[in-house]
Amino acid sequence: MDWSDAMTYELRVTDTFDSAHFLPGHEKCGKMHGHTYRIELFITGKRLLEDVGENKSCMLIDFKRLKEVMASLITKFDHQVLNEVFDDVPTAENLARYCYYYLKKVIETKYHMKEIQVARVRIWEGLNSYCDFYETNT
CB-wise, 37 or 42, nearer to Zn ion?
A: 37
CA dist., res. 11 & res. 47, Å (int): 13
Contact criterion met (CB below 8 Å) for 70 and 41: yes
Task: Let me know how many helices (H) and strands (E) the chain has, helices first.
Answer: 3, 5
Q: What is the number of the residue whose Cβ is closest to Zn ion?
A: 29
CB-wise, 45 or 90, nearer to Zn ion?
A: 90
In angstroms, what is the minimal distance from the CB of 54 to Zn ion?
A: 42
Active site residues: 29, 79, 125
Task: List all residues 6 or more positions away from 22 whose beta carbon is below 8 Å from its beta carbon.
Answer: 29, 30, 31, 32, 33, 83
Q: What are phi and psi of 11, to 5 degrees?
A: -105, 150
In angstroms, what is the minimal distance from the CB of 91 to Zn ion?
A: 8
Site string for Zn ion, 7-36 (x = CB under 5 A): ----------------------x-------
Q: How many residues touch Zn ion (CB under 5 A)? A: 1
CB-wise, 31 or 112, nearer to Zn ion?
A: 31
Contact criterion met (CB below 8 Å) for 29 and 89: no
Neighbour tally for 136: CB within 10 Å: 4
Full DSSP string of 6-18: T--EEEEEEEEEE
CB-wise, 29 or 113, nearer to Zn ion?
A: 29
In angstroms, what is the minimal distance from the CB of 26 to Zn ion?
A: 9
Site for Zn ion in 54-113 (CB under 5 A): none
In angstroms, what is the minimal distance from the CB of 88 to Zn ion?
A: 14
* Binding residues for Zn ion (CB under 5 A): 29
